[in-house]
Structure 1
């Protein structure tokens, strides 16, 4: 755009000069040609040396008006080139009104020899040109602003995409951590539970062999107990294998709470209810995974330590946070609840995303996981302090 306007400035000097040369005498050709070449040089210098644009434009305006008053013809168009230069120069575009009025006054002086109708027409053309240049400047400013906003939007989009990729990586790391923790817990269950059961079955088998001849009825009773122990161990082993099995490719909600409720009720033989309160909001996969793991831990502890037969899972959306409460009808602890391996693991998961963990004992034992959905700094500082202590 600027290059095109510069060409127009040069044409507004060259074309009127060529046409006007036809109306002057041969004796003036050399001087006239020198003046026109000087005019073109001034126009060119304004582009080459923008630091001195103001003095050059002022000199150009007076010089062009002098040429117009001296040689007449179409040289009255020369100041129009100066007007374009003033409007397109960024440092002077804000003083466009002064350039319009001042340039129009000088042009009127240089056209004193012309008819009033001609002067009026030329001044109207001058004002129209100034108006067109003003509109062009406004459109250029809007275009520049639009381009700036587009660049800012593109940058924001790139930052958002980078944040999305980081979030996906973070969720993947959390899932890997949860899987590792689950494998470690399963390994501990196999060692502490199934391993001890198999040792007990082996010892009972040896005792039954010793009693087979001496006390057959007692040996039979012991064999029946061994059978029951093996049956129970097989059921526990099936549940463990199901927990170790890799998810199917189309299993996109492996860590969904509603699925945990259904699987827990079926696997543990208890009644598990699930309720959602408040205005539901989308939950990041990492948060859903941590809620899943804490709910799984709480349900398992309720059955293992409290002998619970009914567990209620409540997911409460509180605006800026989400709370997961696990309540059960099992036996209440007779001593204050100590932070064992399970609760410490739940707290560690909370520390990853700035959540908190609390429990209370009234009619039922309840444990609540609270996770801020907006990255609450106070909640993050609180849980960090708890973990460090």
Structure 2
């Protein structure tokens, strides 16, 4: 669209200025010539055939040269209109061939105009000043006209290269955007396929676990139930044999609980206990959010705990630290985890002031810690003397019994 505006402007503006500046004997004919030039330009823009465009470009060049020969070098600006167009639209040798044709035609038209405008003079040995002036004007017009055409051609060529580079960049951008959309679609399809594959794997794993529960644990529990009924009948008559049967029942239950524990561990994520209920991470978050100095210590041969025990320790530690910050205004908190052969104990100490209400043990938070600890068979101890300490002790001898 900007090319067309400049093209039509280079035809209309010089033509109108020439009409206003120079008197014309026949303005109607001149106007008709300008309309023909505009018609050729519009016709060239509307056609889609490359051959017709080539012929119409030649026709525009020849017509503009005829106008130059008829009305003078002022209408040389009309030639810039067609030059600007073919420099942008044509490529390779055709562009420079068209420029050569226009340069030759324009110089011929200028020469024709000045040869016609020069009136015939009688033979004389003296030099006519009028002839010298006309020769000087003709030379000046040709030099300036050629410079104008060449400069316009150079600027148009540079502009066409810039436009071509911009077009190539836009094309590359469109291709990249298209590839981006394709990658997004492929990613969505891959995610969908991954979810489907994960769902199929989970369904297969559920089927396997249900079969294991039914075939192994279910049958073992049925056998244990039958042995329990037999033991109830045997104990009154034969204590020794009945006791042996009870021991066998205990071993069967222990094996069933171990199988149940293994199955549950396969169902839950690996990071369930190590990440969701990590005491070290809890202390780090508390220290970062409140600015309190925290310390975490582990003593004894540490080993994996059941999720139920980890949850109790984590929630008790969180409640104890909350109380230390809210009621004791503590500046440092220490969590000490001690592993022993038959129990694990956790001590939460802080250097805050003693809360009388907390020392009586009547807080809702402390009661919640006590109930959680008793659920897994442990005990809760509160030492109100400085430093204020909350101790959670949980037995780990028979962990399968409190799974």
Instruction: Tell me the TM-score normalised to structure 2 length.
Output: 0.57
TM-aligned CA deviation for residue 115 of structure 1: 2.6
| Distance across 1 between alignment mates of 2:224 and 2:29 | 124
Give the structure with higher Rg (CA): 2
How is 1:85-234 mapped onto 2 (pairs within 5 angstroms)? 85-90=85-90, 95-112=94-111, 113=114, 114-234=137-257
Shift of 1:93: 6.5
1:79 aligns with 2:79: yes
Question: Within 2, Cα distance between the matches of 1:95 and 1:143?
Answer: 22
CA RMSD between the two structures: 3.0
- Say if 1:196 and 1:26 are closer, same or farther in 2 by CA, change over 3 A: closer
| Greater alpha carbon shift after TM alignment, 72-81 vs 61-70 | 72-81
Structure 1, unpaired ranges of 5+: 254-264, 268-389
Instruction: Tell me the distance in 2 between the aligned counterparts of 1:242 and 1:217.
Output: 38
Number of aligned residue pairs: 254
Partner of 1:48: 46
The C-alpha deviation readout for 1:189-248, integer Å capped at 9, x for no partner, is: 112211221222233233333432443212211212212222222232233344445899
2:17 to 10, 16, 19: 19
Deviations 1:298-330 (A, max 9, x none): xxxxxxxxxxxxxxxxxxxxxxxxxxxxxxxxx
Quick check: 1:208–1:219 contact (8 Å CA) kept in 2? yes
| Cα drift, residue 134 of structure 1 | 0.9
**Residue 88 of structure 1: CA displacement?**
3.1
Q: 1:16 to 1:212 in 2, by over 3 A?
A: closer
Do the aligned partners of 1:20 and 1:73 also contact (CA within 8 Å) in 2? no
Structure 2 residue runs without a partner (length 5+): 115-136, 277-302, 306-403
Do the aligned partners of residues 68 and 167 (structure 1) sit closer, same or farther apart at CA in structure 2, a change above 3 Å counting?
A: same
Q: 1:202 to 1:22 in 2, by over 3 A?
A: closer
Matches within 5 A, 1:343-354: none
In 2, Cα distance between equivalents of 1:173 and 1:252 = 27
Contact kept? 2:73, 2:110, Cα under 8 Å: no
* Deviation per residue, 1:338-370 (Å, 9 max, x gap): xxxxxxxxxxxxxxxxxxxxxxxxxxxxxxxxx
CA distance in 1, matches of 2:231, 2:272: 48
Distance verdict in 2 for CA 1:171–1:54, change over 3 Å: same
Residues 69, 111 of structure 1: 8 Å contact kept: yes
- The aligned residue for residue 373 of structure 2 is none
Q: TM-score, normalised by structure 1?
A: 0.59
